[in-house]
Amino acid sequence: MSRVIGIDLGTTYSCMAFMEGEKPKVIPNLDGLSTTPSVVSFTSTGEELIGTLALRQSITNPENTLYAIKRLMGKKYSSEKVQKAKKNLPYKLTEADNGDVRVEVDSKLISPQEISSKILGYLKSCAESYFGDEVKEVVITVPAHFNDHQRQATKDAAKIAGLEVLRVINEPTAAILAYGLENKKNATIAVYDIGGGTFDITLMEINEGIFNVLATDGDSFLGGEDFDNRIVEWIINDFNEENGVDLSLDKLALQRIKEAAEKSKRELSYTMESEINLPFIFSDKNSSKHIKKNLTRSKLENLTKNLIEKTFPYIDDVFMESKIEIQDVDEVILVGGQARMPLVKKMIIDYFRFDPVENINPDEIVAAGAALQSAILEGTMKDIVLLLDVTPLSLGIETENESFTKIIDKNTTIPTKETMPFTTVEDNQRRVRVHVLQGESEKATDNISLAVFDLLGIGAAPAGVPQIDVTFEIDADGLVKVSAKDMSTGRLQSIKVKSSSGLTENKINEIIKRTQKTNSQVEDDDKT
């Protein structure tokens, strides 16, 4: 019997779980660990390493060891955040023909979706080894603020890995689902989710088995990677001042420093001081240079405090949009590895005026919630009546002067349906083009283009006379249908918005065939 699992595909670590009876249980990987590094490495012999083995390659093979790929999913190469991330990555990013970001490995261009599919494929094989059975279906989590392109990119990665995605669920929603079901209480809960690469804040109300998301917001380029980079910059700048050498130009040295920075950051969650010791970090014909210095918790907090401060405007926004007050929140849950930092907890206490929940595992709770969602979809969980999520971003159309007119505001509970009347801008205009957009900017070009279609055969009339009703409809799975109707003639044109991850259906199938061929060759090699 094929199993359904829940997967939290993280920026730095991934986790998977399944329902054992009425409780979620984390599935260990082949190393017996509950979480797997979201890392893929390509060796000089052409071997692909995934997880812990790949992570060990980060020092000796930095240009071909790929991490933090989740940040690149569904992104354009020219975007400001991709360009910023590029400066801190040892591997090479380049631009695809369609403008998407690609990773260059040995002169081959690989999409972030294909790299993520290798991580998902590894998790799939671990689960199949655990069950002794096939795993075909999955509920997978994404940051709450991921747009449609990023969500579709995640689904395409799963498809390449041989997994059918039953539902994409927001990470904070999954966390509250797992926590709320375990504690069986009616409450208003805030989830502060800061992981390796992304940040989310979500407010949810639990009432008699109904899980209702009130508002959500976040940033897909704010997480533990940024904290690590602050330490890296501090080390490099100090070394440059003392020795006149810029270590950021040496990819091997940069990766050694990054690994040491992350190690010290983790230690400082439990100690007040951590030693950074990197012998022979630089050598020339005259001498060798070493790094040996102490990083205190106080120094780390000074370096990174403003990163935590960046999260609070998002928290203010979800309160404003949900129209509830801080004192209405009963509990706060901290999720994600970076939430272990003592300063994060302190600043959350200062904001909410009470301690966050302590009795959860921030690394596993999201995967547990995904497993619960799979049980809800299968109808085996009777304690939950309904899960009501929200749209992460506003939806609307482009109007005159390249303006963006919102039809469904972000944080609207789904399923939902909204209609707005529009008209023509020219006399006897017989056609209107409907350009569907997602985002928050008033300028159309600053938002994400989802679809374009034409309504033809509008009744001839002076400009401003025809009434054209544009309707947006979003179902429980977040699928969007847009229609335009000329009220005078009754002519109707509609489209189901299928987000593109940047990979065509043909390209996805081509990657799947190539992956299957590679796997078959590996199996044959193992037999011989």
State the CATH architecture for 224-305: Alpha-Beta Complex (3.90)
Distance CA 35, CA 24 (A): 15
146 phi and psi angles, rounded to 5 deg = -55, 135
Residue range 49-61: average pLDDT? 91
**Cis, bond preceding 415 (omega within 30 deg of 0):** yes
- Which among 148, 228, 231, 234 is positioned nearest to 196, based on CA atoms? 228
Mean pLDDT score across all residues of the chain: 90
Give yes or no: 171 in active site: yes
Which amino acid does the sequence have at 495?
I
d(CA 297, CA 305): 11
Distance CA 393, CA 408 (A): 9
- Choice among 114, 148, 193, 205 that is catalytic: 193
Q: Residue 525's pLDDT band (boundaries 50, 70, 90)?
A: low
Q: Which residue has the higher pLDDT, 516 or 433?
A: 433
Q: What is the pLDDT of residues 154-185, one digit of tens each?
A: 999 999 999 999 999 999 999 988 888 777 67
CA-based nearest residue to 243, from 303, 279, 283: 283
Q: What is the pLDDT of residues 456-507, one digit of tens each?
A: 989 889 999 999 999 999 887 677 899 999 998 999 998 888 766 677 788 8
Does the domain made of 395-497 have the CATH classification 1.10.357.10? no
Of the residues 148, 156, 171, 389, only one is catalytic, namely 171
pLDDT at 524 over 60: no
pLDDT digits (tens, 9 = 90+) for 231-252: 999 999 999 999 999 998 888 8
Q: Are 461 and 491 in contact (CB under 8 A)?
A: no
In which region does residue 190 sit, left (phi positive, over 0), alpha (psi from -120 to 50) or beta (all else)?
beta
CB 299 within 8 A of CB 275: no
Q: From the CB of residue 77, how many other CB atoms can be counted at a distance below 10 Å?
A: 17
- At residue 443, φ and ψ (nearest 5 deg) are -95, 125
Residue 131, pLDDT score: 94
Sign, CA dihedral 508-509-513-516, equals positive
How far apart CA 17 and CA 10 sit, in angstroms, is 14
Indicate whether 383 pLDDT > 80. no
Q: Which candidate, 470, 504, 472, places its Cα nearest to that of 484?
A: 470
Inform me whether the pLDDT recorded for 528 exceeds 80.
no
3-state secondary structure of 203: strand
Q: What is the pLDDT of residue 499?
A: 67
Backbone angles phi and psi of 522, in degrees to 5: -65, -45
Given a cut of 70, is residue 197 above it in pLDDT?
Answer: yes
d(CA 224, CA 362): 14
DSSP 371-420: HHHHHHHHT---S--EEE-B-SS-EEEEEGGGEEEEEE-TT-BSSEEEEE
Cα dihedral value 179, 184, 190, 193, nearest 10? 0
- 153-181 b/e (C-beta count within 10 Å ≥ 16 → b): bbbbbbbbbbbebbbbbbbbbbbbbbbbb
- Which 8-state DSSP code applies to residue 169? E
Domain positions in the chain: 3-179+361-388, 224-305, 395-497
Work out the angle at residue 268's Cα, subtended by the Cα atoms of residues 264 and 272, and round it to the nearest 5 degrees: 120
Distance of CA 501 to the CA centre of its chain: 13
DSSP 212-234: EEEEEEEETT-SHHHHHHHHHHH
Residue-by-residue DSSP string for 93-137: EEE-TTSBEEEEETTEEE-HHHHHHHHHHHHHHHHHHHHTS-EEE
* Percentage helix, strand, coil for the chain under 3-state DSSP, each rounded to 5: 35, 35, 30
Catalytic annotation present for 193: yes
Specify whether 70 is catalytic: yes
Is pLDDT above 90 for 262?
Answer: yes
Residues 6+ apart with CB under 8 A from 425: 400, 463, 464
Domain 3-179+361-388: CATH superfamily, name plus number: ATPase, nucleotide binding domain (3.30.420.40)
Question: Using an 8 Å Cβ cutoff, are 398 and 404 in contact?
Answer: yes
Closest of 108, 110, 107, 102 to residue 86, by C-alpha: 102
Three-state SS for 499?
Answer: coil
φ, ψ of residue 353 in degrees (nearest 5) = 70, 20
Q: How many CB atoms lie within 10 A of CB 352?
A: 17
313-323, pLDDT tens digit by residue?
Answer: 999 999 999 99
